[in-house]
Amino acid sequence: MKVDFTRWLPAIAKDSYRKTALSVAGVAALGGLALAPTAAAAPVTSGPHQGAVAAIDLATGKAASPAHQDEQPEQPVESGLTTGSATGKPPAGKPSRDQLIPHGIEGAQSRVPLDDAQLANARAIVDAAKKTGVGDRGAVIGVATSLQESKLYNLGHLGAYNDHDSQGLFQQRPSSGWGTPEQITDPEYAATAFFTALKNVGGWQDLPLTTAAQTVQVSAFPYAYAQWEEQAADIVQQLW
């Protein structure tokens, strides 16, 4: 069943910077796809679909698009937000580690350096978590989900490398009712839509991160979200 999120959400003001979505060039990686929210998880597959593999290869410089064969891939610029793990007591006014990761870490963890665009998108997700009332734990789920789906890049349509019509920070699909392409490539709208769906998941606060995220996203890789929980917690703690 398709869900029209546009009737749930208020009109969201967009400025020209935050509306900009990345094409293949400059993308860090591409994860799964976001269908309309459902409680049924997709089957686990052995690896990424071919469109995702191609996009990842292009973004990491392992392959070049036909139109850019002679161009060198841009190197990511690390921001002041490091990828190191937070330790000790949280700064004043910041959520604690126990608040951010109440159920403990599941499995091996992954980390990526963040550039300014990724950091700005993370801020948009954290701000939407505050506005929608899902709190700091919801923000961790949102940031971890976007790290898996798009590495916190606001992806536009990737052409031949696109996974169906998935776009934006959460790889949401217009054909599944998440909104128009313009809406789902607006970070504030996309994050608000994600958190609105998350709030409809019964007992999401008590679920492991990967279960809560998967119930919303219905990814072909339902356990992949767990690997980003630690970095997502570090990001939220610093931006909250």
Quick check: pTM over 0.85?
no
41 pLDDT more than 50: no
In DSSP terms, 34 is beta-bridged to: 172
Cα–Cα distance between 124 and 117 in angstroms, integer? 11
Give the pLDDT of residue 66. Answer: 44
pLDDT digits (tens, 9 = 90+) for 68-106: 444 443 444 344 454 444 455 778 889 999 999 999 999
pLDDT at 109 (0 to 100): 95
pLDDT at 156 over 80: yes
